[in-house]
């Protein structure tokens, strides 16, 4: 069943934080590895608006359903970042505007390259770009939601578990729209299938790779997806990608995890 923009828009909104006591983190602070992961997630969620900036320079801005979705999506992602920021602040760490301003200053040149790359990809893909964008978005949202789930399991903190469950629920709404549109648009065009497969197999990287330092990307992938339980989650995401028209057997997540595991073993 297709998820329409109306069905998504009717349930979109600011993240509900009622009943979340952030002072719990002062009484039961999170371990260093969990905080390191949350810093990553905070920064990537807040970077969503910059990703939107680049998308609006592509054919995506011509489709009113896509722009309606993106408007709600970026709003929700911003509040996810704000909520995670409150967890960091409860641990005495910088979050929100001061942290994000410093991040964007450090990545100013890289962002220019990313913008040009997005425009070039859109020009090459032509009418198939939106199918590529929706597919890429679905994979990233599957990965993000799974990442929050794995972090919740690893942290074992009741308040964090409740917060992440609420974030994951909203990420599920993003998944519904992205995956529905990806499946529909890919099924309508073999050229879109081929272009999407080409870009995914040659340029896809774990969420945040274009923003965060490589050592932080490697840490996140290893912490959340390495080991039997993490590998099982990666394989489940790959099976979801397999079901998209023309995208079978890409093994994007398992390849990324296996590559990292091999690098660690060789170090």
pLDDT in tens, the chain (267 residues): 567 888 888 888 999 999 999 999 999 999 999 999 999 999 999 999 888 888 888 888 888 999 999 999 999 999 999 999 999 999 999 998 888 887 777 665 555 445 445 655 555 556 788 999 999 999 999 999 999 999 999 999 999 999 999 999 999 999 999 999 999 999 999 999 999 999 999 989 999 998 889 999 999 999 999 999 999 999 999 999 999 999 999 999 999 999 888 887 676
The candidate with the shortest Cα–Cα distance to 126, out of 70, 189, 58, 67, is 58
Q: Which domains does the chain have, with CATH numbers?
A: 21-266 (1.10.620.20)
**CB-neighbour burial class of residue 195 (10 A; exposed 0-12, middle 13-18, buried 19+):** buried
């Amino acid at each position: 069943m297709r998820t329409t923009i109306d069905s998504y828009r009717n349930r979109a909104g600011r993240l509900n934080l009622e009943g979340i006591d952030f002072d719990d983190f002062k009484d039961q602070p999170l371990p260093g590895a969990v905080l390191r992961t949350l810093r990553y997630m905070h920064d990537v969620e807040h970077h969503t608006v910059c990703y939107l900036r680049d998308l609006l320079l592509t054919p995506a801005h011509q489709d009113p359903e896509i722009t309606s979705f993106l408007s709600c999506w970026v709003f929700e992602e911003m509040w996810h970042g704000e909520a995670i920021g409150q967890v960091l602040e409860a641990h005495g760490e910088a979050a929100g505007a001061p942290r994000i301003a410093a991040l964007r200053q450090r990545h100013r040149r890289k962002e220019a390259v990313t913008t040009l790359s997005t425009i070039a990809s859109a020009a090459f893909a032509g009418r198939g770009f939106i199918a590529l964008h929706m597919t890429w978005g679905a994979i990233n949202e599957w990965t993000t939601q799974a990442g929050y789930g794995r972090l919740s399991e690893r942290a074992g903190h009741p308040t964090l578990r409740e917060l992440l469950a609420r974030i994951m629920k909203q990420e599920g709404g993003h998944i519904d729209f992205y995956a529905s549109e990806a499946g529909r648009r890919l099924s309508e065009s073999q050229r879109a299938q081929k272009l999407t497969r080409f870009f995914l197999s040659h340029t896809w990287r774990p969420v945040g790779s274009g923003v965060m330092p490589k050592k932080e990307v490697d840490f996140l992938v290893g912490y959340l997806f390495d080991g039997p339980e993490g590998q099982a989650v990666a394989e489940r995401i790959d099976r979801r990608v397999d079901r998209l028209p023309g995208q079978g057997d890409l093994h994007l997540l398992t390849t990324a995890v296996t590559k990292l595991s091999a690098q660690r073993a060789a170090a």
